[in-house]
Amino acid sequence: MTQNNLPPVSRALTELGVPHRVFRHKTPIKSVEQAARERNQSPQQVVRSIVFRIGKGEYLMALIAGTGQISWQALRKYLGKSRLTMAKPEEVLAVKGYVRGTVGPFGLKTPLRILVDESVPAQDEISMGSGERNVAIIMRAADLMRALGDVEIVPLAAKE
């Protein structure tokens, strides 16, 4: 596969020298559970990248593993902001260059602050968005954290 045939996140990881593999689903993905099953992973290994608008023209990305939800209260408290919203699909595309549901933390159109829930580095192997629909990146969580560099690891998961 040539560099041009790789999904955007894979191209970015390759340029950084980060080991990973590309997984192409045969059918459209409808849930975290389906994605995990087809990748031979547990749902807890699927990392979701969620983009939030935290101010006018100001965005951040939060990474969380599995099906859990981000605690809005914890996120607001950590950021010291009383208001924030999830970015709309058109904002995600305009600001990050990816369609919602395909977002990964690499190869972004513009750099942004990334918060990582403590559930992510707790995994051995993870999978995440590749920048293309129905295509995932699979890699070691330790490699992900090294490639992300100086990110903030924060307890963001909502308590069940």
Domains of the chain: 3-154 (3.90.960.10)
Maximal C-alpha separation, the chain: 46
Task: Return all residues near 134 (Cβ < 8 A) that are at least 6 apart.
Answer: 24, 25, 27, 28, 29
- What are the residue ranges in the chain where pLDDT is below 70? 1-4, 96, 160
What pLDDT is attached to residue 91?
87
Which tokens is 18 given? 């980060």
pLDDT number for residue 12: 95
Q: Are 44 and 132 in contact (CB under 8 A)?
A: no
Which helix H or strand E contains 119, and what residues bound it?
none
pLDDT at 3: 63
How far is 152 from 59, CA to CA, in rounded Å?
15
pTM: 0.92
Q: How many residues does this entry show for the chain?
A: 160
The answer to whether the beta carbons of residues 87 and 53 sit under 8 Å apart is yes
Identify the pLDDT of residue 95: 75
Q: Output the six-digit token pair for 140.
A: 């070691």
**Residue-level pLDDT at 67:** 93
Helix (H, G, I), strand (E, B) or coil at 12: helix
Position 92 scores a pLDDT of 84
C-alpha neighbours within 13 Å on the C-beta side of residue 112: 29
C-alpha 83: how far from its chain's center? Answer: 22
Task: Provide the pLDDT for residue 156.
Answer: 95
How far is residue 122's CA from residue 155's CA, in Å, rounded to a whole number?
12
**Torsion-angle region of residue 15: left (phi > 0), alpha (psi -120 to 50) or beta?**
alpha
Q: What per-residue confidence (pLDDT) applies to 2?
A: 52
Instruction: Tell me what pLDDT residue 76 has.
Output: 95
